Chain A
Amino acid sequence: MGRVKVVHYLNQFFGQIGGEDKAGILPQLKEGPTPVGQLFEKESGDRFEVVRTIICGDNYAAEHLDEVEGIVLKWVEEIRPSLFLAGPAFGAGRYGMACGTMCRAVQQKLGVPALTAMHPNNPGVDSAAKEIYIIETGDSTLDMKRVVSKLVALSQKVLDKAPIGMPKEEGYLPRGVRVNVRVEKRGSKRAVEMLLKKLRGEPFETELPLPQFDKVVPAPPIRDLAKAVIALVTEGGIVPRGNPDRIEAHNASKYCKYSIRDLNDLTGGEYQTAHGGYDPVYANDDPDRVLPLDATRLLEKEGVFAKLYDYYYVTVGNVTAVASAARYGREIGERLLRDGVQGVILTST
């Protein structure tokens, strides 16, 4: 039996082309595997052969998802593989988005089974978890060995049309598919047992997790912009040079507040980015490219709105835990509200 032909999608980092400075690269082809692809081959006992690797920069992919999808489809179709693998993307949002989108496209449009792996909070999960199998990962690449093993094992089951177990057994993220199973105890008995466990404060597992729609009702708009106080907030990590409060380059443990009173422009000499997830060259050259103070001041002077709040809030939105980001947002919002701010412009990278 011949080996299973696999096409593998990777970002510039795992594709060994470069870091954030190369995040803008266009999709490119490499015949054969990269080291990650070699892990797939090895884990499959050489059943898999990664015949082609597609590498694309994280920024380019995230900013041109449709275009990159078209190119990937073309390059996959040329090979007619039996399997398409992407990632693993771990906690990386742009990469996860690309992996999810490419897998969904390849599976739906070319009929080639496609699988990837990422952290449950990766925004890429929402882009494809209903359609494809996504192996759950931690947020760090230290998890690589375990993830590759799960990904390869599930891929082989899909290829062999073997029965696929529940998400927990196989290690993939729930897709919202219901399966009929026969169990010993009838529903009423299970429900009462679950209730008793809950009353005793013991751990229990629901049989029907309810979807969590966390939509926020839009706040009332600003009635009269010309009289409004506006605040700037950024997740792009713009801080005074030297990063005096040491906001972390990734998974930031804090947010900070800096005065911009009497300041009309942010210069590279006095401000910089502390963000570790994008190429800092442009922001360090002119921080207004991330925190647009200069243009905001001009609009304030033109009277478009009444006043720019005297401080800006900043954190680093780079693989930052969702719970932390939610707390920062809530606290910043409450403080701004208390200080009489009526509208917020937030930039993110």
Chain B
Amino acid sequence: MVKEIERVGLPAVQICAIVPIALTVGANRIVRAVAIPHPTGNPKLEKNEEVELRKKLLRAALRGLTERIQEQTVFKQEDLSSEAGKEK
């Protein structure tokens, strides 16, 4: 879906837990989510911490919408250490 949205000319970022699948299906802008059943949450955290976590993920996603990219790119949260692969 995200690929088709991007195809009509709208930048679209996918927040999903399994980055390899997003890369395989052809998403251009990807943010790694927390986990499959709760991509933008973490039930182990306190409510306010969870909202902060969501804001961080969303900030990464919004940054992904504002960057000019040439190829599939994984955008990471600002305070996370870099992971393998092509990440910004």
Contact = CB atoms under 8 A, between A and B. Distances in A.
A140 B62 CA distance: 38
Interface string B1-14: 11111111111111
Contact of A123 (B6, B17, B25, B54): B25
Contacts, number: 218
Chain B's interface size range is 35 or more
B38 to A, nearest CB: 4
A341 B55 CA distance: 20
A295 B59 CA distance: 10
A305 B61 CA distance: 12
A348 B16 contact: yes
B70 A218 contact: yes
Interface in A193-246: 214-216, 218-223, 225, 228, 230, 233, 235-236
A329 B11 contact: no
A137 to B, nearest CB: 18
Contacts of B7: 216, 219, 329-330, 333
Contact of B5 (A62, A315, A333): A333
B3 A329 contact: yes
A337 interface: yes
A282 B62 contact: no
Contact of A219 (B6, B22, B25, B62): B6
B87 to A, nearest CB: 16
A52 B66 CA distance: 50
A103 interface: no
B78 to A, nearest CB: 13
Interface in B53-75: 54-55, 57-59, 61-62, 65-71
A42 interface: no
Contacts of B54: 288, 292, 294-295
Given A289-B40, A349-B36, A304 B62 contact: yes
Interface string A264-283: 00000000000000111111
Q: How many interface residues does chain A have, given as a range?
A: 35 or more
Nearest to A215: B26
A283 B65 contact: no
Given A216-B26, A295-B54, A59 B37 contact: yes
Nearest to B68: A221
A292 B15 CA distance: 11
B36 A337 contact: no
Contacts of B17: 59, 62-63, 349
A298 B53 CA distance: 12
A326 interface: yes
Interface string A144-173: 000000000000000000000000000000
B14 A218 contact: no
Interface string A324-349: 01111110111011000111111111
Interface string A171-196: 00000000000000000000000000
27 contacts: A58-B36, A59-B36, A63-B17, A65-B20, A219-B6, A219-B28, A221-B68, A221-B69, A222-B11, A225-B62, A228-B65, A230-B65, A283-B37, A286-B41, A289-B39, A289-B42, A289-B43, A292-B57, A299-B62, A305-B62, A326-B4, A332-B1, A333-B4, A341-B10, A345-B13, A347-B16, A349-B37
Given A283-B37, A289-B42, A332-B4, 10 more contacts: A59-B36, A218-B71, A283-B38, A295-B58, A304-B59, A328-B4, A333-B4, A333-B9, A337-B9, A349-B36
Interface of B: 1-18, 20-22, 24-26, 28-29, 33, 35-43, 50-51, 54-55, 57-59, 61-62, 65-71
Interface of A: 20, 23, 58-59, 62-63, 65, 93-94, 97, 123, 126-127, 214-216, 218-223, 225, 228, 230, 233, 235-236, 278-283, 285-286, 288-292, 294-296, 298-299, 304-305, 315, 317, 325-330, 332-334, 336-337, 341-349
